[in-house]
Amino acid sequence: MSLVDRHVGFIHALREAGLPVSLAEGLDAARALRVIDLTERESLRAAYAATLVKKPGYRPGFDVLFDLWFPASTTSLYDQGPGAAGMPDPETAPVEDLRGYLARLLTDGADAELREFARAMVERFGRQQAGPGRQNWFSYSVMRALSPETLMARILREVLAGQERGGLAEKTARQRVTANTRRFEEAVATDVRRRIAEDSGIERIARSAVRPPLDQIDFLRVTKADLARLRREVHPLARRLAARLTIKHRRGRRGRLDFRRTMRASLQSGGVPLTTHFKPPRPHKPELVILCDTSDSVSSFAHFTLLLTYALREQFTKVRAFGFVDTVDEITRFFVPGADVVEAMTRLANEADMVRFGRTNYGHALERFAERYGDAIGPKTSLLILGDARSNYQPPALDVLKSLVARSRHAYWLNPEPRQQWDTGDSIATDYGTVVPMHECRNVSQLAGFIEQLA
């Protein structure tokens, strides 16, 4: 495969993995290759990263794909014999000797030595025959054979050698060994992916090797680990959402008549006030009402939107939040400023009155909201509805929603389902969309785009 083919394939793989790479950026990367030494693989990596990677969160996926498209070695060129000085014969050495060599690398080994040893261990332990002429490669068999996580006590005995345990020396040694163990695991995984790509094709393994960037992960498919990482994204989005709502609230408004300036200006026209002057409008924090579907079908989205509610509640005192399944309850009290977010979520699940029979019913929830909390909506209020508009074939209560929207200053609906699934099954997205502008909001990127549109 030529360098041009690898470049084009690499750019295409980045786009398929969700990393935004424009045509101009691809050309910039190609130009960068003209001014570096192509034999220096890390210089090549740095050139691509500088021209193509926009956010730190995109870097892990970029590195995985770079290692697939520009591998450090290929099986046909890799020397199967002993490698660096001191490395036992990877083909015949007892496992205990290999573990001893790995312990030395985890203590003070260079990165190149770790990678070379990882390739040798994948060759010895990572292969499993899957039939005549076929083989599979696995990381777990390498890690099971060498068990690097069990070497810590052995390494500490050698490193400390009579020094007092529990001090700074032990802490430093543990951190270094833990970091090197992680690097070794990554090197094994990288070589396994390389070998699978050689057998099955780079394009095939590239599609399954990289998870989408955090801002591209579908709300309805996030894991607990993803939600923990998403918490860091919430507060900047909350600040931007509040700023956009403020701008939208103030746009087109003028302050009160400035009588003094108007009369002074009229002296130039014989006392006739041809030009009127107004005072600047008073700064105004928007009033926000959030109505959030908390049913199981959108539980991950509800979790994220409740985190967003929590962030907004911390910034503004005039935010009221309501959760519903088939009835509605105000949940603002769980998100007081300074409260622990995990504790707030637990209390909400145990104490909030949002469920009668457990089946989502938007119509009944809207009717109960209008009956119990209708005074929350006023001419200064922005109404934000969060949910998938699936109401289990129950009446939608469109008239109630129309009356709520008519009383509010602005109203928006964020739907976590793909647009092509709207109006399928029990979805009545279009019906609600005729009353409230409905926006597809499946990930952080789309939420950020919606916030930008508000300006």
Instruction: List, for residues 297-322, the tens digit of each pLDDT value.
Output: 777 777 777 777 777 766 665 788 89
In eight-state DSSP terms, residue 354 is -
Share of the chain above pLDDT 70, in %: 89
> Residue 255: helix, strand or coil by DSSP?
coil
How far is residue 152's CA from residue 178's CA, in Å, rounded to a whole number?
8
Predicted confidence (pLDDT) per residue in 116-173, tens digit:
899 899 888 888 876 666 678 888 899 998 998 888 888 888 888 777 777 888 888 8
Above 50 in pLDDT, residue 77?
no
Return the HEC string of 87-137: CCCCCCCCHHHHHHHHHHHHHHCCHHHHHHHHHHHHHHHCEEEEECCEEEE
Q: What is the pTM of this model?
A: 0.65
Task: Quickly state the pLDDT bin for 73 (edges 50, 70, 90).
Answer: low
How far is residue 33's CA from residue 272's CA, in Å, rounded to a whole number?
71
The first and second tokens of residue 370, run together, are 């209008």
pLDDT at residue 305, as a whole number: 73
How far is residue 251's CA from residue 245's CA, in Å, rounded to a whole number?
10
pLDDT at residue 435, as a whole number: 95
Above 50 in pLDDT, residue 78?
no
Give me the sheet containing 438-440, strands edge to edge: 328-330, 319-324, 287-293, 381-386, 410-415, 438-440
Instruction: Decide: 427 and 390 in contact? Cβ < 8 Å.
Output: yes
Predicted confidence (pLDDT) per residue in 186-240, tens digit:
889 888 888 888 877 787 777 777 777 777 888 777 777 777 777 777 777 777 7
- At 181, the amino acid letter reads T
Task: Quickly state the pLDDT bin for 296 (edges 50, 70, 90).
Answer: confident
pLDDT at residue 337, as a whole number: 66
Share of the chain above pLDDT 90, in %: 27
Predicted confidence (pLDDT) per residue in 41-53, tens digit:
889 999 999 999 9
